Structure 1
Amino acid sequence: MNRESIYSKAGSLWLFKMAWRDGRASISRLLLFMASIILGIAAVVSIQLFSTNLKQNIQGQSKSLLGADYIIDSRQQPNEKVKSIIDSLVPDAYEVNFPSMAAFPKNGAAKLVRVRGMEGSFPFYGDLETTPENAANTYQQKGGVLVDATVLLQYDLKAGDSIKLGVITFPIIGAINSMPGSSGIGTSVAPTVLIPYRFVEKTELLQVGSRKEYQYFFVDPDKDLDELEKVLDPILDDENADLDTHTSSSRQIGRSYDNLGRFLNLAAFIALLLGCIGIASSVHIYIKEKLTDVAVLKCIGASRKQSFLIYLIQIAIMGLIGGLVGAIIGIGLQYALPELLQEFLPFDIEITTAPQPIIMGLLLGMFMSVLFALLPLLGTWYVSPLEVLRISEKPAVRSRKTKIVAFGAIIIFVLLFGIWIFGDLKFAAAFVMGVFVTFAILAGISVLFIKTIKRYFPASWGFTARTSLLNLFRPNNQTMVLILAIGLGTFLISTLYFTKDILLAKTQLDNSADQANLILVDIQPEQREAAINTLEENNSEVLNNLSIVTMRMQKIKGIATNDIRKDTTSTIREWVLNHEFRTTFRDSLIASETVVEGEWIKEIESGEDVMISISEGLAKDAQIGLGDKVVFNIQGVLMETIVGSIRKVDWTRLQLNFMVVFPKGVLEQAPQFHVLTTYVPDTNKSASLQQQLVSKFPNVTVFDLRQIYTVIEDILQKISWVINFMAFFSILTGLIVLIGSVRTSKYQRIKESVLLRTLGAKSKQILRITALEYLYLGILGSLAGILLSLISSQLLATLLFEEPFVPSGIPFMVFLPAIVLVVLAIGLSNIRSVLQSPPLAVLRKVG
């Protein structure tokens, strides 16, 4: 019986014993290599868990835009069907709100306001911020009212003064500085006066035919709001009611909220890729050093399959243990970070541990180790027993088919993880393809670098300089592995930093001197010049000077709106038929608009068809498209128009947007009023200006957007903090993984440095040789990674985040020298034991 048959009968138990024996003999190296696995998995698990919690907490913060989890509202007393739905869900608070004139006995002034009669402790999320602070908690019990701070500024009122609503005079308990559920321009046209619900009927303001709205607020954080919206919205729409959820309300903060989710997913995916780099580089170097041991096993009769399985088992167990330890560390970081950062966190974070990331850590540890070990492990299959006696400069020939299978398995694994993280096959595939293209480019750079050094080797250089270059292309060199590890690590870290800058540019409200925060509405034509002069006298620049023309739809595609109302089969939304449109005319688009269909018409001449531009929402609700005819009734004058373009309008931007825009040359002579906007830098100046405007122009409505800015900016600041923190935390973990990757080259360097020292090289010479070698690798790898990240960041900005990309100099000025210094420091620390111990002792230790 030959040796191979004896070993084959030994079975799997012998393989595990051999894996254990070999691992025990190399325990110090295994711990170092396992450190890369642990760091990679810890980074993935901690970032994924913390990202999930941060995202959930930010989503919770976004509830302050609505003040509740969801709201059901109706512009009439809810009918039996709507009331039964409301009762079944059990509202936690409710209100009725309506416009009314308010009188101020102190100065005899009057103002159109929106009265909100509230029952219950609304808001349930966010804060009703008042001056004085306790007014929000006492107005119900005291039977007083809270008045919009802007109104108090305009009429020089304060807490303790009175306001008359209908037949009742109420004491003013305090000023409303900001209130959830009122973060839109529309809610500010008539400023809020908040009163206890029990007084609504006593004011005698609600009569038959009064314009009013009933709102019911619900708190149910565990409710599936998407499913609720899907089921209830159509039913409520048919009954002239509506459902609003906090998820739809959060869209008021624009793309910043959506981009936060994408960024956190990107950080988690990059953490995985950084972990892959650490694992792949450490396993590659470990297996490469074990080729001689494989040759010895084959010399004593082990088969290809047995030698392959011994190290596959060893790597799988390393991965499983590394994954377990990494997952535990990741969970620990998850709980430690909020404690460490509680003084800096802009909000309290509720930590929960989901099982998925923990299971993911265990599986990733094993699968990533095995998958990324396949390629170097394939080298054991083709190792000749003669490798015991000689070192070949050329690697053993491998099967192309097995290489393709190994690469394919890695690509599929990373792609599946990307799909799980991003939830989008197209984007995951594009990102994975980009990473592998980067990998190929870096591999090509390293091959070209080696060939260039070989061809143009500077033979005239000194001993240390020549030796450092020779080390880059000697047999068993690690040039490609380290350039790939350094380059890919730097590429991912820089991409994350550039992406952070892209998003942070959109997490700040443009509350600057060129962004209006004070709007004057209902200015009559004869008042416009005087109003402009008043603004200029107060050093307030006029930012927008708009003309508004009111009109209603008379006919849609040749059918009168009265006939459409009677048609029970019509799919046109009822609000379109009853709405009084406020339109404007201009020759250019504004920042919140993009033409998605048709062509923007700047101006038309007399006698030409009137080509208008409408918003996407109006086109959908009115069932009209390009070329369709719409007849408008402009205060008794009928005008036929044709839809010339359809615009996508970002209604979340705090500026005046319009559903219908006319070109110049049509409405200039129509009855109209004007709107002026300006920017006021502080409260005192705003109060003075508003008081002047109200005194000179009693009919003009002035409203201040600073309350709206307060609600939304608070959330955007939190999003900004999360993006900054997750970026730098991911960059830090990336650097740690990168350090682990470079650190794994330690043992190969030790052997060569010992040989140099044995031949008589001085410690200073060995230090210089090592320093130069790692300097070359650090500069080449990090520079290539940063340059490639510029391309990837541009693609991410354009295709994913839809934002402009302005490159920062930080990666070049900070990351490049920092990574080079880190690589250099690790390289020098790798040979510290060589310089401190006798050569024979070192060789025995690493042999």
Structure 2
Amino acid sequence: MAWRDGKASLGRLFLFMASIVLGIAAVVSIQSFSDNLKKNISLQSKSLMGADYIIESNHPPDERVQEIIDSLGGADAREISFASMMATSRTGNTKLMQVRGIEKAFPFYGKLETTPSGASESLKNGKALVDATTMLQMNLKVGDSIKIGKVILPVGGALNSTPGSSGLFSSIAPPVFIPYGFIEETELVKTGSRIDYKFYFKANASTDLEKLEKKLNPILDAHDADIDTHLSTSRRLGRRYENFGKFLNLVAFVALLLGCIGIASAIHIYIQEKLKSVAILKCLGASSRQTFIIFLIQLIAIGLLGSILGILVGLGLQQLFPLIMQDFLPLELEISIAWKVIFMGMIIGVSMAVLFGLYPLTFTLKTSPLQALRIDESKTSGSKKAGAIIGGLLVLFLFGFSFWLLEDWKYSLSFLGGIAVVFLCLAGIAGLFIYLIRHFFPSKWSFEARQSLLNLFRPQNQTLILILAIGLGAFLISTLYFTKDMLLSQAKLEDQANSPNLILLDVQTNQKDSVAQTVRAQDLPVIEAIPIVTMKVKSLAGKPVEEIRKDTTSQINRWILDHEFRTTYRDSLISSESISNGNWVPKMKDDQEIVPISVSEDFAKDAEVSVGDEIIFNVQGVLLKTNVESIRKVDWSRMQMNFSIVFPKGVLEEAPQFLVLTTKTPNPQKSAELQQAIVEKFPNVSIIDLRQVLSVIQEILNKISWLINFMSAFSIITGIIVLIGAVRTSKYQRIKESVLLRTLGARKEQILKILALEYLFLGMIGCITGIFLSLLGSLLLAYFVFDSTFIPSVGPFVFLLPAIVILVVVIGLSSSLSVLKSPPLQVLRKEV
């Protein structure tokens, strides 16, 4: 019976099913991709690192660290790496590169992919391997020479990929591999240079890497070194991509919620129209249980078939993710079928169909056989007790699903609460609009306008459902637009004359005047000459760092204890800073014994210090006692040199230091000319062109936003399906209205105008409400998450609002054309 009845309503049931298909497709594609990513990271963790474990430090190993390395049998390979400028001998072009001096047979796992194949062997012959993209950009060929510091090396091949490399960092500082023995000859390892020393190891099969890491980490930490195993690398990479996956999961969840709204709405109308058939079946002897099961079977079938189709679409969509995210992934992703995700997709799809259709289905239990004889259009309602029980099951389902996605009950409750607030706001606006129409009806408007407004609260109206669907879709897309534009505006260079776009790093003290003279010789200004002094925290608020590390109850962030801070000294604040607590001290007084310093809010929070607390720094072997005199709010999004710790003048002038010079070039050509001049005279100076950095950031943000918008489109498409389903399910009601209007003398053009205005009102209310809610949400994100000034983008108002409204009107009219074509007698005969 369920099959026979379903065949007669196949088109309508297909629309219900489409809501499930899109929701399940979004969830399966994202979950399957995340599952594959975790598996690949776990399987390829050794290849990602190139070894079983690494001991690394940002300075040469001291005696104790060297003892540990020797006790492990000595390193199987070594590497020294740093950022520096590379120049081509033939063209003189320059570029910031990550120079990596490699020794012996690294990597032990995975391989260096080169062109020509096997070019990695040329490292043993004193040749360099240069990033393939850089070779194309700089018109380099195999056999050409490059200059790094004082060393000139021939290019042995193009480097296509390396273990653990990511296109993200390589876009800013691409890798160049040179033989380990040439590092010293470059003469680039100087005071202030950020040098990384890595020692690679192959482990025996019996070595317990987790025990080894746990044993050695505290010892190495105390000597400014660190051990990293391929297992910890796998966990770290998993966490890095987990947050992005969670965000996409939330997008998929919203698509799923819209699908649930569509199911609930469509099943409600569908069951209401089937109640006469239920009454006839009961007249023929069918029990309430039998009629209930007939339509329950239909719901299960819809959920099952929709889940299967959604899974197939989702598995196809997941093939796109590696193509979109290849620049962010440090590995080659192999896609396989995630059976657990497929099983969950089936469970979720069937649960959606049954749970969200169960309450309307309870109407069949209370349908009387006499309704087959009565001509009464009053609708049967469900039991309040049954409604409460089903409502509780729905909340549990949504909580369980969000907990499966987020794996944190607090986040799950917060997300459900946020969605509930948006739903309530949209529902409240819809109810308020209907209330205002009823109590302040515009009686002087035209007949068509008045009739279209009356349609918004006629029997079987879809006002609430459609405003929810349209508004939630507009809310999600608008929030993404506002957030993306806010991030891009933060990374935008200011056009002010004193805003630098070229940064010269690692300038030695004795080079300051010469470098500045070279900049000015190019008719460019030296905007800033910032001194940098490196130091580490030795003691916080009277407690030594070693004790803090051993204290398991300490809440001090680990980076504070391990980080080598680059600090500066000056007598004034800069434009990105403001004092939030304490007093700014511009200069050290002669009678002061303890140095007054200013720290950023981030440092104060993570180090758990406040104004008046004492901090002792190790300034390259010299202990310096300081006192927190002020705490600064720093706008880290500004493209300028910002510091966590700032000293007053009169303290660090004689300490070992280097400088950072900044300038502003009018165009890329002038920037290239200056870079060539600097590298030729001062090979140790590294140059960062902020234009290139910002173009990389913008490209990354554009790719991410494209992916997010693509997934968000599921919500909009689902909303469209809900709209089509709502129009189709109330089609007969519209035909009756059309017949009555035409019988009273209304023309087709008038009816068309009434329908167009009705959908225009629905689209405008839903979309405007959604956009304004997203405006509020983005403002909260800017304040609490990004700590940034929020300037709203005009995109959602100029493009999104008219696009969605036009789409709603077009879909509404195209689905209602048959209303105009139905002869009046057709409906009158049915009534008879």
Q: What's 1:371 paired with? A: 355
CA–CA distance in structure 2, aligned partners of residues 795 and 303 of structure 1: 55
Change (3 A) 1:738 1:68: farther
Q: What's 2:311 paired with? A: 327
Q: What's 2:6 paired with? A: 23
Within 5 Å, give how 1:744-759 maps onto structure 2: 744=725, 745-753=727-735, 756-757=738-739
Within 5 Å, give how 1:223-238 maps onto structure 2: 233-234=217-218, 236-237=220-221
CA–CA distance in structure 1, aligned partners of residues 101 and 420 of structure 2: 58
Change (3 A) 1:837 1:637: closer
Q: Deviations over 1:767-795 (max 9, x none)?
A: 33322322222222222222222223333
Cα distance, 1:371 vs. partner? 2.0
Q: What's 2:758 paired with? A: 773
Change (3 A) 1:218 1:322: farther
Whether the aligned pair in 1 keeps the contact of 2:582 and 2:611 (CA below 8 Å) is: no
Whether the aligned pair in 1 keeps the contact of 2:165 and 2:330 (CA below 8 Å) is: no
CA–CA distance in structure 2, aligned partners of residues 672 and 321 of structure 1: 69
Q: What's 1:820 paired with? A: 805
Q: What's 2:270 paired with? A: 286
Whether the aligned pair in 2 keeps the contact of 1:558 and 1:629 (CA below 8 Å) is: yes
Q: What's 1:32 paired with? A: 15
Change (3 A) 1:414 1:701: same
Q: How big is the alpha-carbon RMSD for the aligned residues of Structure 1 and Structure 2?
A: 6.3
Cα distance, 1:741 vs. partner? 0.7
Within 5 Å, give how 1:711-722 maps onto structure 2: 716=697, 719-722=700-703
CA–CA distance in structure 2, aligned partners of residues 707 and 662 of structure 1: 27
Whether the aligned pair in 2 keeps the contact of 1:482 and 1:742 (CA below 8 Å) is: yes
**1:484 lines up with 2:465 in the alignment:** no
SS of alignment partner, residue 119 of structure 1: coil
Within 5 Å, give how 1:576-587 maps onto structure 2: 583-587=568-572
SS of alignment partner, residue 705 of structure 1: strand
Change (3 A) 1:551 1:398: closer
Cα distance, 1:313 vs. partner? 3.4
Q: What's 2:341 paired with? A: 357
Change (3 A) 1:123 1:384: same
Q: What's 2:686 paired with? A: 703
Whether the aligned pair in 1 keeps the contact of 2:21 and 2:306 (CA below 8 Å) is: yes
Find the partner of 1:473 among 457, 460, 463: 457
Change (3 A) 1:69 1:477: farther
CA–CA distance in structure 2, aligned partners of residues 247 and 655 of structure 1: 37
CA–CA distance in structure 1, aligned partners of residues 355 and 259 of structure 2: 13
CA–CA distance in structure 2, aligned partners of residues 56 and 512 of structure 1: 49
CA–CA distance in structure 1, aligned partners of residues 99 and 805 of structure 2: 63
Q: What's 1:409 paired with? A: 393
Between 1:417-426 and 1:382-391, the stretch displaced more is 382-391
CA–CA distance in structure 2, aligned partners of residues 569 and 786 of structure 1: 49
Q: What's 1:601 paired with? A: 584
CA–CA distance in structure 1, aligned partners of residues 335 and 767 of structure 2: 36
Q: Deviations over 1:372-397 (max 9, x none)?
A: 22343344455555654667787656
Whether the aligned pair in 2 keeps the contact of 1:517 and 1:678 (CA below 8 Å) is: yes
Counterpart amino acid of 1:748? S
CA–CA distance in structure 2, aligned partners of residues 229 and 372 of structure 1: 51
Change (3 A) 1:585 1:456: closer
Q: What's 1:41 paired with? A: 24
Q: Give the TM-score taking structure 1 as reference length.
A: 0.72
Change (3 A) 1:389 1:340: farther
Change (3 A) 1:552 1:768: closer
Q: Give the TM-score taking structure 2 as reference length.
A: 0.73
Between 1:318-327 and 1:793-802, the stretch displaced more is 793-802
**1:546 lines up with 2:501 in the alignment:** no
Change (3 A) 1:638 1:316: closer
Q: What's 2:775 paired with? A: 790
Counterpart amino acid of 1:357? V
Q: Deviations over 1:743-762 (max 9, x none)?
A: 11314223432563376355
Counterpart amino acid of 1:814? F
Give unpaired runs (5+ residues) of structure 1. 1-17, 107-112
Between 1:463-472 and 1:620-629, the stretch displaced more is 620-629
Q: Deviations over 1:769-825 (max 9, x none)?
A: 322322222222222222222223333444456555443222222222222222222
SS of alignment partner, residue 290 of structure 1: helix
CA–CA distance in structure 2, aligned partners of residues 237 and 269 of structure 1: 42
CA–CA distance in structure 2, aligned partners of residues 163 and 462 of structure 1: 79
Cα distance, 1:326 vs. partner? 1.6
Whether the aligned pair in 2 keeps the contact of 1:584 and 1:658 (CA below 8 Å) is: no
Find the partner of 2:722 among 736, 741, 744: 741
CA–CA distance in structure 1, aligned partners of residues 323 and 612 of structure 2: 61
CA–CA distance in structure 1, aligned partners of residues 508 and 728 of structure 2: 77
Find the partner of 1:724 among 686, 689, 705: 705
Whether the aligned pair in 1 keeps the contact of 2:112 and 2:120 (CA below 8 Å) is: no
Within 5 Å, give how 1:131-150 maps onto structure 2: 137=120, 139-144=122-127
Change (3 A) 1:79 1:338: closer
Identity of aligned residues (%): 45
Whether the aligned pair in 2 keeps the contact of 1:518 and 1:702 (CA below 8 Å) is: no
Whether the aligned pair in 1 keeps the contact of 2:149 and 2:684 (CA below 8 Å) is: no
CA–CA distance in structure 1, aligned partners of residues 117 and 565 of structure 2: 40
CA–CA distance in structure 2, aligned partners of residues 530 and 164 of structure 1: 17
Counterpart amino acid of 1:28? G
Q: What's 2:95 paired with? A: none
CA–CA distance in structure 2, aligned partners of residues 53 and 138 of structure 1: 33
CA–CA distance in structure 1, aligned partners of residues 196 and 29 of structure 2: 50
Q: What's 2:424 paired with? A: 440
Change (3 A) 1:295 1:499: farther
CA–CA distance in structure 2, aligned partners of residues 728 and 574 of structure 1: 35
Whether the aligned pair in 1 keeps the contact of 2:123 and 2:129 (CA below 8 Å) is: no
Q: What's 2:56 paired with? A: 73
Find the partner of 2:259 among 272, 275, 281: 275
Q: Deviations over 1:415-467 (max 9, x none)?
A: 33223223343333222212212222222222333333333445566554444
CA–CA distance in structure 1, aligned partners of residues 83 and 737 of structure 2: 90
Give unpaired runs (5+ residues) of structure 2. 91-97, 190-194
Whether the aligned pair in 1 keeps the contact of 2:80 and 2:198 (CA below 8 Å) is: yes
CA–CA distance in structure 2, aligned partners of residues 445 and 20 of structure 1: 40
Counterpart amino acid of 1:23? G
Change (3 A) 1:467 1:146: closer
CA–CA distance in structure 2, aligned partners of residues 472 and 569 of structure 1: 65
Q: What's 1:116 paired with? A: 101
Q: Deviations over 1:258-284 (max 9, x none)?
A: 864453233222222232233233223
Whether the aligned pair in 2 keeps the contact of 1:19 and 1:311 (CA below 8 Å) is: yes
Between 1:354-363 and 1:683-692, the stretch displaced more is 683-692
Within 5 Å, give how 1:31-180 maps onto structure 2: 31-49=14-32, 71-73=54-56, 75-76=60-61, 82=69, 94-95=78-79, 116-120=101-105, 137=120, 139-144=122-127, 159=144, 172-173=154-155
CA–CA distance in structure 2, aligned partners of residues 365 and 727 of structure 1: 23
CA–CA distance in structure 2, aligned partners of residues 99 and 499 of structure 1: 32
Counterpart amino acid of 1:72? I
Counterpart amino acid of 2:569? T
CA–CA distance in structure 1, aligned partners of residues 481 and 538 of structure 2: 54
Q: Deviations over 1:114-155 (max 9, x none)?
A: 8834223559899899xx9999746425334579999xx9xx
Change (3 A) 1:456 1:295: farther
CA–CA distance in structure 2, aligned partners of residues 387 and 634 of structure 1: 90
Cα distance, 1:230 vs. partner? 6.2
SS of alignment partner, residue 798 of structure 2: helix
Change (3 A) 1:575 1:21: closer
Change (3 A) 1:219 1:262: farther
Query: Larger C-alpha radius of gyration, 1 or 2?
Result: 1
Change (3 A) 1:161 1:721: closer
Change (3 A) 1:234 1:767: same
Between 1:266-275 and 1:500-509, the stretch displaced more is 500-509
